[in-house]
Amino acid sequence: MAIHPTAIVDPDSNISREAEIGPYCIIGSGVTIGPRTRLLAHVYLEGKLTIGKDNVFYPYCSCGVTPQDKKYKGEPSETRIGDANTIREFVTINRGTEGGGMVTSIGDGNLLMAYVHVAHDVIIHNRTIIGNGVTFAGHIVVEDYANISGLTAVHHYTRIGRHAMVGSRSVIKQDVLPYSMTATTHEIEVYGANRVGLERAGYSTGAIDALQSAFRLLTRSGLNTSQALARISEELPETSEVGILTNFIRESSRGFVK
């Protein structure tokens, strides 16, 4: 275990012998750090916080700290960070609250760019890209492979579907459909399937075309949601991606961006 002599490490923390703790880092009680995770410098970690293996934390990020929620009364909530994540400069990650399941969670293989804020009870799944300055309010779910561009603000209790691409400076107040490309101009709207991202991920042309047709019915046909879902069921092939899309809509409690 390599711990720089200027680092402050609480004896009640649990740090792998293969981890690296850089200059001026502060690690509090109840923090667990897995093998080959590196804290480059000036990183602040507070428990209860569990971090897996092969992560990199850049200078001036803070993780596991008290949530910015007046309802929080000191309950023993926690933060969980998986494997192979990159946490860039000045990222802030708050732990969970009793009102949200007690856990803020980040999965595996995510990139959180500089100045990202992850509020209490946010669940980020796997292999997402979160751009500079993105702000998540509490109780948000971000699904696998979502790509959220810089300076976007996301309202609490919303969901970002898998493989969604959200344009920069967007204000997200409702759920973002999986596989979609969504952005704000003066009003937020869906621009269709995230074709380039899906092609890069290996989705077939047929699957992407079916999604594009589904988005056209949902957002450009003049139909209400129930009518559009009925047309999708009648007219489009029953691909797994279209099934995920329609199930996402049926489970949405806030409505979704059109």
Catalytic residues: 120-121, 138
Dist CA 237 CA 98 (whole Å): 43
Residue in the block written with tokens 């760019």: 113
As to burial, measured by CB atoms within 10 angstroms (0-12 exposed, 13-18 middle, 19+ buried), residue 235 is exposed
Residue in the block written with tokens 């990159």: 86
Backbone angles phi, psi at 49, to 5 degrees: -140, 125
Dist CA 60 CA 38 (whole Å): 13
Decide: 125 and 144 in contact? Cβ < 8 Å. yes
Decide: 119 and 133 in contact? Cβ < 8 Å. no
What is the full DSSP assignment across 192-242? EE-HHHHHHTT--HHHHHHHHHHHHHHHTS---HHHHHHHHHHHS---HHH
Decide: 88 and 58 in contact? Cβ < 8 Å. yes
